[in-house]
Amino acid sequence: MLQHMDRARVPASISVIGAGIAGTWQALLFAKAGCKVSLYERSDASMTQATSHWAGGMLAPFCESEAAEPLITRLGLRSLDLWRDALPQTPFNGSLVVAHARDRADFERFARLASGHKRIGAAEIAELEPDLGGRFNDGLFFAQEGHVDPRQVLPALHAVLRSSGVPIEFKSAAAPRDIDGLVIDCRGIAARDDCPELRGVKGEIILIETPEIALSRPVRLIHPRWSLYVVPRAGNRFLIGATSIECEDEGVSLRSALELMSAAYAVHPAFGEARIVDFGAGLRPAFPDNLPRIVVDDSRITVNGLYRHGFLLAPALAEVTVAHVMGGRTDNEVVRCS
Ligand SMILES: Cc1cc2nc3c(=O)[nH]c(=O)nc-3n(C[C@H](O)[C@H](O)[C@H](O)COP(=O)(O)OP(=O)(O)OC[C@H]3O[C@@H](n4cnc5c(N)ncnc54)[C@H](O)[C@@H]3O)c2cc1C
């Protein structure tokens, strides 16, 4: 059992299955801790089979505290430091929450439930995001939050891994039971064969491009049904997300597309002229309580259930796994030993 494993008992090699955001961070921190690590991924390097490919990439522990458990904020805050260490160029210029007058009650509710923000008015909104000047009278500024572009950051982290001597075997579907030594199973929703409780929560996004408007940080628009946001990407692109639907079909419905595009238009009418570059959906892997789990079972550890917080939580979860395996320290809020 790995429950009380000391350094002398650490396996000579560690195999991580799944090069999404969870597996990539596990591989990174085990390699940093001096372990010999291999990473297996069924997709090619474009990672289009990963939920991570579709994510907004917001690192927003405070915004998320509006609806998530304190555990998410705790791990999320630790992750911000780990992101800074691994990729110092990660932008930490905050995030902005705005609402139209008709959604005032929902805005006030969000302000009450979320922490780590400052209330700002029209002038400060215009200072932060000049193109939003005059469009919103009230906002919440979460100064400490950051964001990454998953389609850039995964290849960047994979490059860090390769330069640290970690081989990444793309197009290699692996079965945890077929591999000797310590296996870290980070297969996301595909791990349902072993975790029957796992479910997929569909999130749809649209990627658009326009030179008509510039944003420096994620902007969330208070919406009565969903947490809708616009996240700036390089090259005048913007990710509009995301729905949250209890279904495992991976298509984008007409209704969702209309709602996402209307949200962008409501943030700024200039988005009406934008070109649609891509749209799609990912299945967020979630356990019934929507909290992440690190399940330790002999020579196998499953890291899953990152739900809507994979980019926010993956670094801290990797740190917890490494501390458990290398130092015998157990974070009882996340680690389950069978
Ligand atoms: C629309 C949307 C927006 C989101 N926005 C955010 C956000 O802003 N911030 C945030 O923190 N989180 C966000 N999330 C959540 C985040 O994307 C997920 O929590 C995260 O991607 C889950 O990561 P994972 O590594 O567990 O799974 P995945 O990314 O799915 O990775 C699992 C990998 O395992 C591979 N795999 C499966 N089976 C095998 C096998 N047998 N052998 C080898 N490889 C295998 C898969 O191909 C895949 O690459 C969002 C999710 C969605 C859908």
Set out the domains of the chain in order of their start, with CATH numbers.
Answer: 7-58+149-196+289-337 (3.50.50.60), 95-143+199-286 (3.30.9.10)
| d(C-alpha 258, C-alpha 110), whole Å | 24
- The number of helices, as runs of H, and strands, as runs of E, in the chain is 8, 17
Helices (H), 222-309: 254-267
**Residue to probe by mutation, ligand 1, list 151, 192, 308, 334, most atoms within 8 Å of CB:** 308
Find out whether 255 and 248 touch, Cβ atoms under 8 Å.
no
The string of DSSP letters for 72-122 reads: HHHHHHHHHHHHHHH-TT-----EEEE--GGGHHHHHHHHHH--S-EEEEH
pLDDT value of position 163: 96
pLDDT value of position 15: 97
Q: Are strands 36-40 and 13-17 parallel, antiparallel or unpaired?
A: parallel
Q: How many whole angstroms from its chain centre is CA 282?
A: 12
Ligand 1 lined by 282 (C-beta under 6 Å): yes
Ligand 1 lined by 279 (C-beta under 6 Å): no
Q: How far is the CA of 199 from the centre of ligand 1 (A)?
A: 13
Q: How far is the CA of 188 from the centre of ligand 1 (A)?
A: 6
Ligand 1 atom closest to the Cα of residue 52 is 21
What are phi and psi for residue 241, nearest 5 degrees?
-145, 180
**Residue to probe by mutation, ligand 1, list 284, 287, 290, most atoms within 8 Å of CB:** 284
Find out whether 141 and 128 touch, Cβ atoms under 8 Å.
yes
Ligand 1 lined by 146 (C-beta under 6 Å): no
Find out whether 312 and 146 touch, Cβ atoms under 8 Å.
no
Residue nearest to atom 52 of ligand 1 (CA): 55
Instruction: Using alpha carbons, select from 56, 23, 8 the residue that is nearest to residue 280.
Output: 56
Residue nearest to atom 42 of ligand 1 (CA): 173
Tens-digit pLDDT string for the chain (338 aa): 334 445 555 667 899 999 999 999 999 999 999 999 999 999 999 999 999 999 999 999 999 999 999 999 999 999 999 999 999 999 999 999 999 888 999 999 999 999 999 999 999 999 999 999 999 999 999 999 999 999 999 999 999 999 999 999 999 999 999 999 999 999 999 999 999 999 999 999 999 999 999 999 999 999 777 679 999 999 999 999 999 999 999 999 999 999 999 999 999 999 999 999 999 999 999 999 999 999 999 889 999 999 999 999 999 999 999 999 999 899 999 999 98
Structure tokens at 252: 């984008």
pLDDT value of position 9: 54
Find out whether 81 and 208 touch, Cβ atoms under 8 Å.
no
Instruction: Using alpha carbons, select from 68, 17, 239 the residue that is nearest to residue 147.
Output: 239
